[in-house]
Chains A and B, each alone.
Chain A
């Protein structure tokens, strides 16, 4: 099996129908602390969409070009950046970046979502807002190949040299194919081959 063979994961992605979350045009914000928090932020940032998921969980959708502006505003209330997680939507050809923020003063967890195209993915760094973003950005760079402009340390980080620049968490990375190129066609000790996945 060679590396360029179509990974099985891709089929799975296509099986899923594009689950469009029914977007409420004007989400009524509840009269809770979360609702107020979102309303407050949206007032300053009208380009974003925001709604309250449930208690202590709020969600924002921001266009990619204004993400830095928005996060700077949000950092007044959300003092902590927990994680930058990346979702690869292969079919739509987009990466979804989810900045997960935590408000220490309000105990509210916020998702700030933004979508960027998969090819030549570029984002501005947010190191100057939360210095910890350096590490998260390095990780996202290494596993997905997103370039964070302004981050000085986007070099080899976790992966071994032979895996570097391969971006293994992308959906079009063929895991079994890659493992077979490294360990040979059949990496089982016993007679049977356990390299075909049935799920």
Chain B
């Protein structure tokens, strides 16, 4: 046991950390009675969030290529790919729809986005009532960063840039932005595969690749396993040829 040398540690003596109890000392806390209290009177004062404070997302619909990287990395599974129709024309690629009921604001999705289409702003205020139509606000396809910036410059209160999301029967969503503008589009479907009905030939072929990707590991894995299995079988063959025959 002596062979193992003891690690050298410094121990602070107990007499240095142990305080003497006192009847007087608690009263020294009274000195803060006459100092300016440290507080922010929120409705009257504002606080600036730090630059790059992780808030709501922005999405450039033009540069998003619908790769679903953001949906794959999201730890909360808050992103669902959405097929969108703007002005009667379906977007070629799906766009992410972020559910703030699930989102943890980790911004992994922003880091992983290969085109930089997904970004985030410092906006963090979002409060609604409990009605179903109010709660629609928590699930949106993020809007263009320039628009958000514009709204921020106008109000500068770090609120969610959309005031109300109106959902119509036929899948049309109207985003009523805070500055009075509206953004109207139709959601045709969800997921990586383009929705069935209006299948234009071209987008149907391309995004279909993505779901297939999931299946590709399986054949690859089989290939990997086969040689291994063969090796094992060969080894078995040498040892016990009968067992090999039984298998076949």
Do these two chains interact? Answer: yes
Q: Which residues of A contact B (CB under 8 A)?
A: 14-15, 17, 33, 36-37, 40, 105-107, 188-194, 197-199
Chain A residues lying within 8 Å of B4, measured Cβ to Cβ, are: 33, 36-37, 40, 106
State whether A198 touches B7 (Cβ < 8 A): no
State whether A194 touches B78 (Cβ < 8 A): yes
Chain A residues lying within 8 Å of B80, measured Cβ to Cβ, are: 192-194
Given contacts A190-B99, A191-B187, A193-B190, contact A106 B7 (CB under 8 A): yes
Interface centre among A37, A190, A193 (most CB of B within 10 A): A190
Chain B residues lying within 8 Å of A192, measured Cβ to Cβ, are: 80, 82, 97, 190
Chain A residues lying within 8 Å of B139, measured Cβ to Cβ, are: 189-190
Total residues of chain B contacting the partner, CB 8 A: 29
Chain B residues lying within 8 Å of A15, measured Cβ to Cβ, are: 217, 221
Chain A residues lying within 8 Å of B78, measured Cβ to Cβ, are: 194
Given contacts A17-B228, A33-B4, A189-B135, contact A194 B99 (CB under 8 A): yes
Total CB contacts across the A-B interface at under 8 A: 47
Whole-angstrom distance from the CB of A145 to the nearest CB of chain B? 28
State whether A198 touches B101 (Cβ < 8 A): no
CA distance A194 to B139 in the complex (A): 12
Chain A residues lying within 8 Å of B217, measured Cβ to Cβ, are: 15
Chain A residues lying within 8 Å of B72, measured Cβ to Cβ, are: 198-199
Q: Which residue of A lies closest to B224 (CB)?
A: A17
Given contacts A17-B228, A198-B72, contact A189 B221 (CB under 8 A): no
Option from B5, B136, B225, B228 in Cβ contact (under 8 Å) with A33 = B5
Whole-angstrom distance from the CB of A79 to the nearest CB of chain B? 14
State whether A194 touches B7 (Cβ < 8 A): no
Secondary structure at the B interface, as helix, strand, loop or mixed, is mixed
Interface centre among A37, A40, A107, A198 (most CB of B within 10 A): A198
Can you sample 20 A-B contacts with CB below 8 Å?
Answer: A15-B217, A17-B224, A17-B225, A33-B4, A33-B5, A36-B4, A40-B4, A106-B6, A107-B7, A188-B99, A189-B101, A189-B139, A190-B136, A191-B187, A192-B80, A192-B82, A192-B97, A193-B80, A193-B190, A194-B99
Chain B residues lying within 8 Å of A191, measured Cβ to Cβ, are: 187, 190
Chain B residues lying within 8 Å of A36, measured Cβ to Cβ, are: 3-4
Q: Would you give the 0/1 interface string for B185-221, flagging 1 where the beta carbon is closer than 8 Å to chain A?
A: 0010010100000000000000000000010010001
CA distance A14 to B224 in the complex (A): 12
Whole-angstrom distance from the CB of A17 to the nearest CB of chain B? 7
Q: Which residue of A lies closest to B7 (CB)?
A: A107
Chain A residues lying within 8 Å of B71, measured Cβ to Cβ, are: 198
Chain B residues lying within 8 Å of A14, measured Cβ to Cβ, are: 221
Q: Would you give the 0/1 interface string for B36-80, flagging 1 where the beta carbon is closer than 8 Å to chain A?
A: 000000000000000000000000000000001001100001101
Chain B residues lying within 8 Å of A193, measured Cβ to Cβ, are: 80, 190
Whole-angstrom distance from the CB of B133 to the nearest CB of chain A? 12
State whether B68 touches A198 (Cβ < 8 A): yes
CA distance A30 to B72 in the complex (A): 44
State whether A105 touches B6 (Cβ < 8 A): yes
CA distance A106 to B6 in the complex (A): 6
